[in-house]
Structure 1
């Protein structure tokens, strides 16, 4: 019996070590790895920051980037005519504004608006002519 108790003690120690290693592995995949990914994503976002981008600060202040000072690591925001200076670390979210897209949308809207009335007017004009002809035939 004494021999069985000694063997059980040795097996329990190996099981404990495996359990501890398993716990550290889970902590890495559940806590450390996602945090590193989030930090990398935030740094990528900050490196792509440009003048004219719409941003939201960690205090939920919305503004447009007016200037970026790389030496002081600050950003000047235009908030409806009020210029505020923030540390780059205070930026929570960046919405990149591309100047090409609004111009392309306006051109598409204009061409669609020009094409749409022509299509609508043609059947209306034909219908008006048909109703005039029918009225003349009935009399």
Structure 2
């Protein structure tokens, strides 16, 4: 076997090993974040929904999220990332009222 072919195989093996290591590190970090969730943490689900943690049940792999007063049960694996750690309660979004202006036609 020529040396260049051997080098290509070694490079491919090294690249696969490195990519696998990175994936394991990310999975381990995500699992640690899920295990350290507590009430009041702000999170994002895998569906892109922002919510506040209300209850965590690690034994049953369940979590209850508060989304503007609506309580939704999820599995822990549905948590994508933690946005803010340990904030107290979800705040209501501030809605600004538009000032009414008269439109004058000329």
Using the size of structure 2 for normalisation, the TM-score is 0.72
Asked if residue 35 in structure 1 is aligned to residue 46 in structure 2, the reply is no
What is the deviation of 1:22?
A: 2.2
The answer to which structure has the higher helix fraction is 1
What is the deviation of 1:79?
A: 0.8
What is the correspondence of 1:1-139 to structure 2 with a 5 Å cutoff? 13=1, 15=3, 16-29=5-18, 31-94=19-82, 95-98=84-87
Aligned 8 A contact 2:44 2:81 in 1? yes
Larger Rg: 1
> What CA distance in whole angstroms lies between the structure 2 residues aligned with 1:64 and 1:19?
49
Structure 1 residue ranges without an equivalent (≥5): 1-12, 100-139
Using the size of structure 1 for normalisation, the TM-score is 0.56
Structure 1 residue ranges (4+ consecutive) displaced by more than 3 angstroms after TM superposition: none
Q: Deviations over 1:62-85 (max 9, x none)?
A: 111111112220100111111100
The answer to which structure has the higher strand fraction is 2
Q: Which gives a bigger RCO, structure 1 or 2 (Cα 8 Å, sep 6+)?
A: 2
Structure 2 residue ranges without an equivalent (≥5): 89-106
How many aligned positions are there? 86
